[in-house]
Structure 1
Amino acid sequence: MAAQVGLLAADTSSKDVVTGADIAAGQVEDLTAVRVFARTNPQQKLDIVEAWRSHGAVTAMTGDGVNDGPALRQADIGVAMGARGTEVARQAADLVLTDDELSTVVKAVEEGRRVYDNIRRFLIYGLAGGTAEILVMLAGPLIGLPLPLRAGQILWINLLTHGLTGVAMGAEPVSPGAMNRPPRPTGQHILGAGAWQRLLLLATVVTASCLAAALTARAWDLPWQSVLFLALLAAQLGVVLGLRGRLLTRENLFLPLAVLSSALLAAAAL
C-alpha cells in the first residue's frame, strides 16, 4: 500500500518499514529514519511524534480512533477524521476533516500559507510606508523643506494606502512555489526571514526618492509640497504592486483597481 501511494521507492530497504513489534524489541535506533510504521500502539505513535519534534521538525498527525488521541494532542497539528472519526479523536485534534479526504489537508496548508504571506506583505507595506512618512517629516526640515506635509495630506495618504489597497492585498492569490517551501521554524517572528531588512530598504528608497522629487520641484520653482504629496503616495502604491507574488495575475483584479482608485482620489484631492 505504501509503495502504491508513492511513500516507498522500488529499492526500499527493510529498515524503511518497521512494525510496532520491532520498536518494542528495540530494533529501531532512530525513529526519524523510518519511512513507514505499521501496527503501532498509542505510546509508540507518541514516541514517533516526540522523536521528530526533538529534531526540530513540525509534526502533523492524522487519526480517527481512540488510540490516536495522545499523538493527535502532542503533534504540532492534529488532524482528525470528522465522518468516521471517534469523538475522542475529534476533541484531541486541532483540525477536523469533515469530508475525511487527506487531499483537503493540502488545500488547507496552501490556504494557510496564502493568508500568512498576505499578512506579511501588508505588514511590510504598511510599516515601510509609515516609516517613510516619519523619515520625510524628520529629514525634510534638515534639508530645507520646513513643512514637508500638512496634517490633511498625511491623513489622506494613510487613508488611501491603508484603506482600499490594504484591504485588496488580503485577497492576493497564493504565491508560486508556496507549497514547495519547507515549514517555517515554529519560533520565527512574522517579520523574520528577511522581512525587517526588506521593510527598511523599501522605507529608505521611498524616503530618498520622495525628498529628491521635492527638492527638484523646489529648485524649479514648482509647488514642491504638492509634488512631495503625490510622490509619497505614488511610491507607496508602487510598493503594493511590487510586493505581489505575480505582478500581472488576473486572480485579484481588485488590487489594481484599488491602486487606480487611490491614484484618482489623490489627484482629486490635489
Structure 2
Amino acid sequence: MTLLSINLNKIAVLRNSRGGSEPDICHAAQTCIEAGCGGITVHPRPDQRHVRPSDVYALAAMLRGRVEYNIEGNPFAKPRGDYPGLIELARQVRPTQVTLVPDGDGQITSDHGFDLRRDIARLRPLVGALCDVGCRVSLFVDAGSEGFDLAAVIGVRRVEIYTGPYAQAFADGQPGAALGACADTARRAQQAGLAVNAGHDLSQANLGTFKAAIPGLAEVSIGHALIGEALYEGLATTVRKYLQILR
C-alpha cells in the first residue's frame, strides 16, 4: 500500500498566528499515528513562518521507531537565527527521509522541482552528506523531468513528483494530460531505479484517480487539503478516509 505521510506545517501556521503552544504539533502527530498514517512530514524554512527547528527536534523524539519521518527543505538555504540549515537539521535528528526542494523565502509554497541535469553537480555533495548519516534522499521534481539516471548515480533513492498542475487540471475537469505526464515521469524514474513519491494539492477528490494511474506509488505527502478537510470532520476521521482511498 502507498504510504500516507501527513504534512503538519498548517498546524504550526495556526499555532504561530496566535503565539503560544496551541495547537500542539506533537499532539496532532500522535492523532495521525493513532488513525493509521505511516509517516509525518514537516518543511521547516529559514524564516520559520510555520514549522520551527524546535518542532523538528520534538517530533524526532516522539516519532523514532514508530512511523517514517520526512523532512523537506531547500538544501542551499543558509542558516539563519536558530535555523541551522537543512543538512545540519538532518544530521541532528536523522529522519527516515529528506526531501530536497528548490524553494525560496518568496514562495508561499513549493511550486517547482529541480532541473536534474542542471542541478545535479551542486546536489551531489549534499546528497552524499545525507546518505552518510543514514537518510533516504528524495528530490522534488516536475512532471516531465529528465536525468533520473544521474540522480540515481549520486545516491538519490526517490523522487517526489510535484502534483500541483495535476490538481489544478483535475479541478478544471481536464486532468488527462497532466495525469499522463505524471505517469510517464513516474515510469521513467522507476526504470532508473528510483522509487516514486508524490505531493502537493492532493486531496480526497483527486487522490484516487492519481494513485490508479501510478503503479508502484511509494508515498504521498499531504498537508494543506487534509488539514483543511479535518476542520469539518476531525483529524482522525480525515486521515482514515485518505487511507481508505489508498487501499
- Structure with greater contact order relative to length (CA < 8 Å, sep ≥ 6): 2
Shared fold (TM-score greater than 0.5)?
no
Output the TM-score relative to the length of structure 2: 0.28
Structure (1/2) with the larger helix percentage: 1
Higher Rg: 1
